């Protein structure tokens, strides 16, 4: 498959971890496509068929420009957009630039997909109930005991919805570094929330003196729609100036440990280096203390919170409903998105082994396996841009029970993956063309909720049996 080409500095591109497609490492476009065809074939997967993802300040920054060729040619490394100088000729890049600028005033405001009254998948029928509207990038969701839903907006706001309506904008949210993939990220409640009231929030935080940024986690309590008693329990180092690959989904296990992923921040070597937090899955106590049996607590110079390493950009994490083991999904580069069974002290290989290649079509490594490095349970090539993952639990969806649901940012659907042991035996696309599926979770009463970008909505999947 052709490389995912990223043309512009956009919040969408920064949010994905896979970019728009590029025709490979040949110096010219061998198919001789028109600029429109190139955009539709290589760029629309990220920017939208109608350019709906060129929006807000991102779009305004380019609206005054006369030529986008330089940014296509040189890329924007700070946001993870590589150079595409080897992918297209100068004339092809100029033609793509002209097409984008020509179409800028014709782009349409995205509208929510209209689904049938009842959707019938292979094993489960369901209908769609929209429970939250008016959002942009709804990144994380958590449910309060009274049934209200907390939704994080990547730009830095925390909303409270109930009864299908916005009830409050929560104050006291920490200042976030809302650039690229950065911003307000995940939110989870402590397993004993009704006893202790702790809410956990991950976000991208500026480094000392406002230089650089990295992933941080706080815990706080909710009082009168305000976050109070805030405590920072984790802050990743170093603080690179890039604005992508932050992670950071979180999950508590049965023993009360908090697991979460931090991306390698666009520097692949970080993932194989134990002296930083990047490209790792971490495990800590609920107050930020380090478990004494973490695998590298006695390794000189190693970050003691590290549980596993060799990850690229972990975007989903959950516990298997039967084995109770930790699984994660993560972005590969061009190809090689993965589902992994996360093991204590394991090395998952990035960038020494991978099923993907560079965005400009060049080879990262010819190795897909190596002694001492783990193989994924499953890998997606081409990349789907996995955004989150959740095992289906309970009895509301008997046809999907035990399956993994994973959002696709690139292809705008919810993917169902069926496991037999540790082997994937079936895949199915759900909610096709719903939009960029950012998050999937399950409420305490067993219903599946999915958040979607462009437009930003949260929907509930109501089973029809």
Q: 254, 285 in Cβ contact below 8 A? A: no
Cα(75)–Cα(85) distance, rounded to whole angstroms? 9
pLDDT at position 360 is 74
Q: Does residue 87 or residue 15 have the better pLDDT? A: 87
pLDDT tens per residue across span 387-443: 999 999 999 999 999 999 999 998 999 999 999 988 999 999 999 999 999 999 999
pLDDT at position 9 is 33
pLDDT at position 246 is 98
pLDDT tens per residue across span 250-297: 999 999 999 999 999 999 999 999 999 999 999 999 999 999 999 999
Quote the Cα angle for 407-319-392, to 5°.
Answer: 55
Which tokens sit at 362? 């060049």
Q: 448, 463 in Cβ contact below 8 A? A: no
- Phi first, then psi, for residue 298 (nearest 5°) are -105, 10
Question: Do β-strands 226-235 and 138-143 pair in parallel, antiparallel, or remain unpaired?
Answer: unpaired
Q: Does residue 100 or residue 116 have the better pLDDT? A: 116
Q: Which residues contact 305 (CB under 8 A, 6 or more apart)?
A: 234, 277, 282, 283, 284, 290, 294
Structural domains of the chain sorted by starting position, each given as residue range(s) with its CATH number in brackets: 11-106 (1.10.760.10), 119-464 (2.120.10.30)
pLDDT tens per residue across span 50-61: 665 654 444 444
- At 47, the pLDDT band (50, 70, 90 cuts) reads low
pLDDT at 84 over 80: no
Kindly state the average pLDDT of the residues 110-114.
75
Q: Which residues are registered as beta bridge partners of 430?
A: 414
Cα(281)–Cα(248) distance, rounded to whole angstroms? 9
Cα(219)–Cα(201) distance, rounded to whole angstroms? 6
pLDDT at 92 over 90: no
Q: 364, 349 in Cβ contact below 8 A? A: no
The per-residue b/e assignment along 299-336, b for 16 or more CB within 10 angstroms, e otherwise, is eeebbbbbbbbbbbbbbbbbbbeeeeebbbbbbbbbbb
- Phi first, then psi, for residue 45 (nearest 5°) are -60, -30
HEC string of the chain equals CCCECCCCCCHHHHHHCCCCECCCCCCCCCCCCCHHHHHHHHHHHHHCCCCCCCCHHHHHHHHCCCCCHHHHHHCEHHHCECCCCCCCCHHHHHHHHHHHHHHHHHCCCCCCCCCCCCEECCCCEEEEEEEEEEECCEEEEEECCCCCEEEEECCCEEEEEECCEEEEEEECCCCCCCCCCCCEEEEEECCCHHHHCCEEEEEEEECHHHCCEEEEEEEEEEECCEEEEEEEEEECCCCCCCCCCCCCCEEECCCCCEEEEECCCCCHHHHHCCCCCCCEEEEECCCCCCCCCCCCCCCCCCCCCEEEECCCEEEEEEECCCCCCEEEEEECCECCEEEEECCCCCECCCCCCCCCECCCCCCCCCCCCCCCCCCCCEEECCCCCEEEEEECCCCCCCCCCCCEEEEECCCCEEEEEEEECCEEEEEEEECCCCCEEEEEEECCCCCEEEEEECCEEEEEEEEEC
pLDDT at 35 over 70: yes
pLDDT at position 338 is 98
Cα(387)–Cα(408) distance, rounded to whole angstroms? 6
Could you identify the residue written with the tokens 């939208």? 48
Could you identify the residue written with the tokens 């995205």? 110
Cα(403)–Cα(319) distance, rounded to whole angstroms? 12
Which percentage of the chain shows pLDDT scores above 70? 86
Kindly state the average pLDDT of the residues 78-92.
77
pLDDT at 27 over 90: no
Quote the Cα angle for 193-194-198, to 5°.
Answer: 30
pLDDT at 25 over 70: no
pLDDT at 48 over 70: no
Q: 415, 428 in Cβ contact below 8 A? A: yes
pLDDT at position 109 is 64
Kindly state the average pLDDT of the residues 288-312.
98
Q: Which residues are registered as beta bridge partners of 436?
A: 453
pTM of the model: 0.86
Kindly state the average pLDDT of the residues 137-158.
97
Q: 383, 4 in Cβ contact below 8 A? A: yes
Provide the annotated active-site residues.
Answer: 245
pLDDT at position 101 is 79
């Amino acid at each position: 498959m052709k490389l995912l080409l990223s043309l512009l500095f956009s919040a969408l591109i920064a949010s994905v971890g896979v970019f728009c497609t590029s025709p490979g490492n040949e110096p010219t476009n061998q198919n001789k496509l028109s600029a429109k065809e190139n955009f539709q074939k290589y760029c629309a997967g990220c920017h939208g068929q109608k350019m709906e993802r060129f929006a807000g300040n991102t779009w305004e920054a380019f609206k005054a420009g006369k030529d986008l060729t330089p940014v296509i040619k040189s890329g924007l490394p700070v946001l993870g957009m590589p150079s595409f100088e080897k992918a297209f000729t100068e004339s092809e890049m100029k033609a793509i630039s002209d097409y984008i600028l020509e179409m800028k005033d014709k782009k349409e405001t995205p509208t929510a997909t209209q689904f049938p009254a009842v959707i019938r998948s292979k094993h489960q029928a369901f209908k769609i109930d929209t429970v939250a509207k008016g959002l942009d990038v709804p990144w994380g969701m958590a449910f309060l005991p009274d049934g209200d839903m907390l939704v994080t907006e990547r730009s830095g706001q925390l909303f409270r919805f109930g009864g299908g309506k916005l009830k409050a904008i929560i104050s006291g949210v920490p200042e976030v570094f809302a650039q690229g993939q950065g911003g307000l990220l995940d939110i989870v409640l402590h397993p004993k929330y009704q006893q202790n009231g702790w809410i956990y929030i991950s976000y991208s935080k500026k480094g000392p003196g406002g230089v650089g940024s990295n992933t941080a986690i706080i815990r706080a309590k909710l009082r009168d729609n305000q976050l109070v008693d805030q405590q920072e329990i984790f802050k990743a180092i170093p603080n690179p100036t890039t604005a992508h690959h932050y992670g950071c989904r979180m999950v508590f296990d049965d023993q009360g440990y908090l697991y979460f992923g931090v991306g390698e921040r666009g520097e692949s070597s970080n993932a194989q280096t134990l002296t930083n937090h990047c490209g790792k899955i971490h495990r800590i106590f609920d107050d930020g203390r380090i478990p004494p049996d973490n695998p590298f607590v006695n390794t000189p110079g190693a970050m003691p919170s590290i549980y596993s390493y060799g990850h690229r950009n972990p975007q989903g994490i959950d516990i298997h409903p039967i084995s109770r083991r930790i699984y994660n999904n993560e972005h590969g580069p061009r190809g090689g998105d993965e589902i992994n069974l996360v093991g204590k002290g394991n090395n998952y290989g990035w960038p020494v082994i991978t099923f993907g290649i560079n965005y400009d079509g060049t080879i990262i490594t010819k190795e897909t396996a190596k002694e001492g490095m783990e193989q994924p349970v499953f890998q997606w090539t081409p990349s789907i841009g996995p955004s989150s993952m959740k095992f289906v639990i309970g009895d509301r969806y008997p046809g999907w029970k035990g399956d993994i649901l994973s959002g696709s940012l690139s292809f705008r659907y919810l993917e169902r993956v069926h496991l037999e042991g540790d082997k994937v035996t079936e895949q199915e696309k759900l909610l096709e063309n719903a939009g960029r599926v950012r998050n999937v979770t399950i409420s305490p009463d067993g219903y599946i909720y999915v958040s979607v970008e462009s437009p930003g909505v949260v929907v509930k999947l109501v089973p029809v049996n």
